[in-house]
């Protein structure tokens, strides 16, 4: 995360707060997630070199860039985001990251079923129910981390594991 400073993923209005451990408004009702929360999510996700990753709610593109670094040149990250202006902005910030791509999410369809399956899925928007359509986009031994009913949950095809603590996120739409 230190090697991927969040400054370049933020709009100028909040850049001075880039090093503060809090979520920052990036416009369009979205936030760039709190660094300590991103750390908890990524530890729970357990990314390995070569993994194919889906970043649902890629927002600023910061988590997309961090994960692209963690999976290395043999891996890849696809970010999907509902807000087209955020996709445009994050695509600029990610232009020097060859193994990362962002695209506008299709309304009414979660994730990117056409591009899966994925070894890992990170979801950065909250839901009250496990989205089965995303579980179906995982490889047989894949895993997804998401904020579910206020908790951080790691879901696989076999079951769920809950991390300590409570977390607030913008809602998954």
Ligand X SMILES: C[S@@+](CC[C@H](N)C(=O)[O-])C[C@H]1O[C@@H](n2cnc3c(N)ncnc32)[C@H](O)[C@@H]1O
Cβ atoms < 10 Å from Cβ of 88: 12
Q: Which H or E run includes 86?
A: helix 84-93
Residues pairing with 127 in the sheet: 148
Site string for ligand X, 30-59 (x = CB under 6 A): xxxx----------------------xxxx
Choosing from 33, 58, 76, 90, the catalytic residue is 33
Pairing of the two strands 151-155 and 138-148? antiparallel
Rounded Cα distance between 97 and 48, Å, is: 17
Asked if 83 touches ligand X (CB under 6 A), the answer is yes
Determine if 22 is a binding residue for ligand X (CB under 6 A).
no
Q: Minimum Å distance from CB 159 to ligand X?
A: 23
Site for ligand X contains 172 (CB under 6 A): yes
Q: Tell me, rounded to whole angstroms, the distance of Cα 155 from its chain centroid.
A: 15
Nearer to ligand X, 65 or 143 (CB): 65
Residues known to be catalytic: 33
Q: Which residues bind ligand X (CB under 6 A)?
A: 30-33, 56-60, 62-63, 80-83, 86, 105, 110, 124-125, 169-170, 172-173
């Amino acid at each position: 995360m230190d090697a991927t400073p969040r400054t370049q993923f933020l709009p100028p209005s909040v850049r001075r707060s880039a090093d503060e451990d809090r979520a920052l408004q990036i416009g369009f009702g979205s936030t760039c997630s709190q660094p300590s929360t991103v750390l908890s999510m990524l530890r729970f996700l357990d990314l390995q070199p070569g993994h194919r990753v889906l970043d649902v709610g890629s927002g600023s593109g910061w988590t997309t860039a961090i994960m692209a670094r963690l999976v290395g040149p043999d891996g890849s990250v696809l970010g999907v985001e509902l807000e087209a202006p955020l996709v445009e902005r994050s695509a600029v910030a990610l232009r020097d990251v060859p193994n990362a791509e962002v695209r506008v999410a299709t309304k009414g369809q979660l994730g990117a079923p056409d591009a899966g399956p994925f070894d890992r899925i990170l979801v950065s928007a909250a839901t009250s129910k496990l989205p089965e359509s995303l579980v179906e986009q995982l490889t047989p031994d894949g895993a997804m981390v998401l904020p579910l009913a206020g908790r951080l949950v790691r879901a696989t095809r076999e079951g769920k594991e809950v991390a300590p603590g409570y977390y607030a996120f913008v809602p998954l739409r």
